[in-house]
Amino acid sequence: MTQRVLITAGASGVGRAMAEAFDAAGARVWVVDIDDAALNSCPENWQTCKTDVSDEAQVADLFDQITKAWGGLDVLCANAGVAGPTALVENVSLSDWKNCLSVNLEGAFLCSKYAVPMLKKQARGAVLITSSTAGQYGYPNRSPYAAAKWAMVGLGKTLAMELGPHGIRCNVICPGSVEGPRMEGVLQREAVAKGMTRDQVYEGYASGTSMGRFVEARDIADMAVFLASDAARLVSGQVIAVDGHTVNPDPKL
């Protein structure tokens, strides 16, 4: 059976790598994003549309489109997220806090809310939530992001409990530091906040893993394809880090 896969924030970064990996595995891919240029760069065989996953009306419309075009869904990759501010908690504005939680946590919730009835109807499927190792250990100077990602772990574990009796699995993927433009922005902002160079911050994070390096988007994508496959048919309710093995979540930078 050809899988029908929805990937949020799938036009670039980790989401793009997921879309490419599912496509290579023979799945039908539906990518949503808020970046028009990135969406326009997607292959013609992918379904694409612009969707803000923190907006319930847009999410509801997205799933109406999926129902009309595909008649169902097999895999939801709730991958959309934003980095949020880099600042000590006392310097974080409430508006920045709310925006970070809205895109990360509420986006995963809304997509799950609308995907679940489709998955229950066919009594099979998989939900994959992209959290972060920040959702396992915390993340100094990134309290909104850590709080959102921690909550996403709780959401994923709860969904696994609710959906298991219906033959649906849910797992949470926790990437470590992922090479790419988004992480570069984080490194630059943290370097400024701490009066350090970008390379010093990078080395601090890399040295916090036993493998001494950042991961790549394709590493996350490969895990997603596995977790959505029959090879993982009894893997559910798990929080799986793809991070090169974090041994010190708060390296002294």
Q: Which helix (H) or strand (E) holds 39?
A: helix 36-40
CA angle 56, 151, 148 (to 5 degrees): 70
Whether 205 is catalytic: no
What is the strand order of the sheet 47-50 is part of? 47-50, 28-33, 4-8, 75-78, 125-130, 168-175, 239-242
CA angle 129, 135, 140 (to 5 degrees): 145
Cα-Cα-Cα-Cα dihedral sign, residues 242, 246, 251, 253: negative
The catalytic residue among 114, 137, 139, 145 is 145
Catalytic residues, which ones? Answer: 145
